[in-house]
Structure formats: structure tokens, C-alpha cells
């Protein structure tokens, strides 16, 4: 599945076709959800050019997408801080991007809930910034 999805993305296949291919592989192989998430994460991270001047915009877009997914799925709502912290720890998200999102860049959907939930982490980031 991973190699097929990587090939389709590199060939700029229509996203709906990529999604259908992934769904079919998941169904045929009866893959556990955790394996699907791992594979898709690897494929997506390999497909995106994370360097250059668009880096901050890509990070911000990633946070927006995570926020919307968490907002739309009640089971994920409480996980936003953990996801953001994980992405920060893995050097996917920069401190500046997180602070920008926190201060003025959040989507209005769930804003108060997410800002409040992430406040302790943001306070820690700001304190670390002041110490530097």
C-alpha cells in the first residue's frame, strides 16, 4: 500500500483515486488502523517538501487540518494538545508556527476549547523562548 500510494502521489494522481486505492488496500489486507495511520503518515511526510520558504505555511496548514479533524470527531477533541506536542517533539512543527496559530491563526471552530487545552504547552514554549 505504501509504495502504491507513494507512486500515485508522485505521479500527481487525483486525490480521490489515491483515497480509493488506499481504502481498497486496507479492506483487502485487513490492516489494523494503527498500521494504516503509520503508513499514510510516512507517505505524506515523504511527499511534502518541508524545506524552503513555504515551510511555515505548510506547518500552519497541518495544524489547521489537525484542528478541523479534532473538531469534527468528538473522540479526537481532547487529543489536539497531544498531537501538537508530538508533532513539535518530532520537529514537524516549529515553535514559531505553534505560537502564531495559538495567538491569531486558529480556525474559529473549536477555537476556545483548543486554545484553552493548549495553553499550558504554549506557556512552556514562551518561557523557553524568554530563557533563550
Measured CA distances, 116 to 80, 81, 120, 122 (Å) = 11, 10, 8, 10
**Do 71 and 11 share a domain, yes or no?**
no
User: What's the pLDDT at 50?
Assistant: 64
72-91 core/surface letters (b: 16 or more CB in 10 A; e: else): eeeeeeeebbebbeebbeee
User: What's the pLDDT at 75?
Assistant: 86
Query: CA–CA separation, 55 vs 53, rounded Å?
Result: 5
**Do 110 and 65 share a domain, yes or no?**
yes
**Do 119 and 60 share a domain, yes or no?**
yes
Q: What is the pLDDT of residues 42-88, one digit of tens each?
A: 888 788 776 666 778 889 988 998 999 999 988 888 899 999 999 99
Q: What is the pLDDT of residues 21-41, one digit of tens each?
A: 988 988 999 888 888 888 888
**Do 57 and 76 share a domain, yes or no?**
yes
**Do 32 and 74 share a domain, yes or no?**
no
**Do 56 and 37 share a domain, yes or no?**
no
Expressed as residue numbers, the domain containing 119 is: 52-132
**Do 15 and 63 share a domain, yes or no?**
no
User: What's the pLDDT at 117?
Assistant: 92
**Do 63 and 81 share a domain, yes or no?**
yes
Amino acid at each position: 500500500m505504501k509504495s502504491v500510494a507513494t507512486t500515485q502521489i508522485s505521479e500527481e494522481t487525483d486525490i480521490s483515486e489515491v483515497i480509493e486505492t488506499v481504502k481498497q488496500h486496507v479492506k483487502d489486507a485487513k490492516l489494523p488502523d494503527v498500521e494504516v495511520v503509520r503508513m499514510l503518515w510516512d507517505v505524506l511526510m515523504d511527499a511534502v517538501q518541508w524545506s524552503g520558504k513555504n515551510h511555515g505555511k505548510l506547518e500552519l496548514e497541518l495544524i489547521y487540518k489537525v484542528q478541523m479533524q479534532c473538531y469534527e470527531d468528538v473522540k479526537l477533541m481532547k487529543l489536539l494538545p497531544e498531537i501538537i506536542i508530538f508533532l513539535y517533539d518530532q520537529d514537524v512543527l516549529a515553535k514559531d508556527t505553534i505560537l502564531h496559530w495559538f495567538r491569531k491563526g486558529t480556525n474559529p471552530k473549536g477555537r476556545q476549547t483548543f486554545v484553552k487545552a493548549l495553553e499550558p504547552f504554549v506557556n512552556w514554549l514562551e518561557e523557553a523562548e524568554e530563557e533563550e
